[in-house]
Amino acid sequence: MKNVKGTKDILPDESPLWQRLESTFRTMPALFGYKEIRTPIFESTDLFKRGVGEGTDIVGKEMYSFSKSEDGESLTLRPELTASVARAVMQYNLIRHYPTLRLWYYGPCFRYEQPQQGRQRQFHQIGAECMGTTNPEADAEVIILANSILKNCDIADYKLNINSIGDTETRAVYKKVLVDFLNDNLSKLSEDAQKRLVTNPLRTLDSKDTRDREVVKNAPSILDYLNSESKEKFEQLQSLLTASGVSFEINSRLVRGLDYYSNTVFEFITDKLGSQDALGGGGRYDNLTALLGGNPIPGVGFALGVERLILLAQQNEQPAEAKAQVMIVSEQSFNGIVFRVANMLRAQGISVVTDLQQRSFKSQFKDADKSGVKSVVVIGENEAAQQEVTIKNMVTGAQHENVAYANIVTVLQEIPNG
């Protein structure tokens, strides 16, 4: 048996790197006052149809949907988390307790896509949402948070692209201009873009198809159509990012795929991962909760793709092996003495492994050499009888004999840990 296409096992040698990144995911949002929210991995299909939008690839082609509920309702493995978070915020009226609601999340998402490097069918996202205000301060805050997470994961090779797609009024005006322009170039567009002319013409702006790219190079820029309010917000966002030392480029072709965005959209991109160049992105979604049938609650957020962060981090470093600090070498358990000593050390925060197979001293020492532990605690027949141990420094070969149990930790601490 093998794992399913598009999924990946994270093997023991890889998990230390995941854990290092995951610890950044926990500490960084907390520094910004964000609290963690965990929502179920599956939701009602309707949530994503309404929240992500019927015109998107995610809803149109990529959802893992099934019906396994009593009332025959269609359920879907979440393709992203923003819709789920918005649902929970409305369901528990969380915004009542916190006028500015700051939330972060981390977990698996599922999309039926063609797997390749950096693209899987089960992947992970770390993200954050700031809800309750339309002010560009919130947009700046989530972008700075995303940027801080990347920096703290030691990821450097990326750029931040930002754009404004304006409010509903702006987009209505711009859409007409854009559709006219695309119609004038209809025969040069990809089949997908031709189909999208009615459903989602804005998407053609960041189409990956080279035919579309060639056409939209000359398309009118949405930035020339921003009304004064959208324009002011975009300018303020830029000045807040500049003041915070976050470098960015304006990319007027960036629209992102989802239906719920308005005003700010942004993306972190890299040239180190081939065609899957987006590390993450996000934007403002002031209409999302209304689309889900609730009161309008403005919000802005981002999601970063963890597999892509891992791929970049792997390019920069060899995964560190998680090794125990101490190995206890003993040919038998001496009525539990070996376990007692091991547990005593673990209670002091020292990681310890013991031999579980009563093998010879020789083969256990071979293991110790191979695993790279710096110290070995030897318990032979004499040591067990005298309630003592011998400690061997594996780097220098020096031995400390007749060490009483109470002194083990002190002696170990004098041996440097690699």
114/218 with CB nearer ligand AMP:
114
Minimum CB separation of residue 31 from ligand AMP in Å reads 22
- Cβ-proximal residues to 196 (8 Å cutoff; 6+ apart), any chain: 55, 203, 204
CA distances from 39 to 36, 146, 331 (A): 10, 20, 49
Task: Give contact residues for ligand AMP (rule: CB under 6 A).
Answer: 80, 111, 113, 118-120, 123, 125, 278-281, 303, 305, 307-308
Task: Take residue 72 and report the two structure tokens written for it.
Answer: 């025959």
Write down the H helix ranges in 259-377.
Answer: 288-291, 306-316, 337-347, 361-371
Amino acid found at 161: N
Q: Which is nearer to ligand AMP, 298 or 301 (CB)?
A: 301
Task: Pick the closer one to ligand AMP by CB: 201 or 283.
Answer: 283
**Does residue 170 contact residue 284 with C-beta atoms inside 8 Å?**
no
- The DSSP 8-state label assigned to residue 67 in this structure reads E
Taking alpha carbons only, the member of 173, 234, 221, 182 closest to residue 204 is 182
Min. distance of Cβ 372 from ligand AMP in angstroms? 33
- The residue number whose beta carbon is nearest to ligand AMP equals 305
Nearer to ligand AMP, 111 or 284 (CB): 111
Please identify, using beta-carbon distances, which residue of 34 and 225 lies nearer to ligand AMP.
34
Place of tokens 């939008």: 53
Nearer residue to ligand AMP within complex by CB, 105 or 123 = 123
Across 80-179, the runs of DSSP E, i.e. the strands, are 101-110, 122-131, 159-164
Contact (CB, 8 A) for 162 and 254: yes
In whole angstroms, the minimum distance from the beta carbon of 130 to ligand AMP comes to: 16
Regarding beta strands 375-378 and 388-393, do their DSSP bridges make them parallel or antiparallel, or are they unpaired?
antiparallel
Give the nearest distance from C-beta 316 to ligand AMP in angstroms: 17
Q: Measured from the CB of residue 302, what is the shortest distance to ligand AMP in angstroms? A: 8
Ranges of beta strands (E only) in 68-146 are 74-77, 101-110, 122-131
Provide, rounded to whole angstroms, the least separation between the CB of residue 113 and ligand AMP. Answer: 5
DSSP class of residue 69 equals: S
Q: Whose Cβ is closer to ligand AMP: residue 314's or residue 396's? A: 314
In the complex, the smallest distance separating the C-beta of residue 59 from ligand AMP, rounded to whole angstroms, is: 12
Which residue is it, tokens 């000593």? 341
Q: Rounded to the nearest whole angstrom, what is the least distance from the CB of residue 89 to ligand AMP in the complex?
A: 18
Min. distance of Cβ 253 from ligand AMP in angstroms? Answer: 15
Phi, psi of 142 (to 5 degrees): -70, -35
The phi, psi pair for 104, rounded to 5°, reads -130, 160
**Closer residue to ligand AMP, CB minimum distance, 59 or 345:** 59
Beta carbon nearer to ligand AMP, 307 or 355: 307
